Amino acid sequence: MLKTRLFRTLPLAALGMAALALPASADRGRYHDSSYRGGGSGAVLYSDSGFSGEGLRIHGAEPDLARLRFNDRASSIVIQSGAWELCTDANFRGRCEIVDVSTDRLNAYRLNDNVSSLRPATYRGNGHGNSRGRRGGWNAGLVLFPDSAQRGQGIEVQQDIPDLSQYRFNDRASSFLVTGGSWLVCEHANYRGRCEVLQGGAGDLKPIRMNDNISSIRAYDGWR
């Protein structure tokens, strides 16, 4: 059974001088939930920015925060382990973002007071279908993202794709992450038009004039 617990953070003044010994504010929730004995796993949602206000500790997939009276209330999150997928609708639907670091203001992801479900991110890949993740844990050699800075629901690429429209990702990529090999990305289907080579690392596509302008992809071995 999923275990969750609501608690309210205490103002630092109420803790006296002992508060000075606490680590960064992202760890406050763990110290103010005295009944919790499960260690630092999972994630904690807070109703206010800066890891303050009412907190809700989550240890596994939660498909509907409404049942915990926390729907559309989260403004910050502490990540105590792994990465978490946060979605705007119940049952992990709507717009989803992967968060892998503690974030004191969820409006950075356009999720302030807009989270209805969340679950640990598993980064499953199926060759070249949709799979979500951010910076780490990807199985593919190339991941394309619809937003800059490797944000949004990414599409994994492990083999040649002559037409991204069949995956509903035509002219949608704004940033990339290369975890293996080199990849040729082209502005038209069937590797036509202007093409650029993406190699190890991450970046935005705007500097190479490929933002929202990729229609086909294939592995690049230097032959061109």
Could you give the residue range(s) of every CATH 2.60.20.10 domain in the chain? 5-120, 142-219
| pLDDT value of position 91 | 84
The confidence band for 199, taking pLDDT boundaries of 50, 70 and 90, is confident
Assess if CATH 2.60.20.10 describes domain 142-219.
yes
- Whether the per-residue pLDDT at 37 is higher than 50: the answer is no
In the prediction, which pLDDT does 12 show? 34
pTM: 0.44
SS (H, E, C) 116-146: CEEEECCCCCCCCCECCCECECCCCCEEEEC
Q: Say if residue 5's pLDDT is above 80.
A: no
pLDDT, tens digit, 9 for 90 and up, residues 135-154: 344 555 888 989 988 888 88
pLDDT at 16: 33
Q: Judge: domain 5-120, CATH 3.30.565.10.
A: no
pLDDT confidence of 125, banded at 50, 70, 90? very low
Residues contacting residue 208 through CB under 8 Å, at least 6 positions apart: 196
Q: How confident is the model at residue 80 (pLDDT cuts 50, 70, 90)?
A: confident
d(CA 102, CA 87): 16
65 pLDDT above the threshold of 90: yes
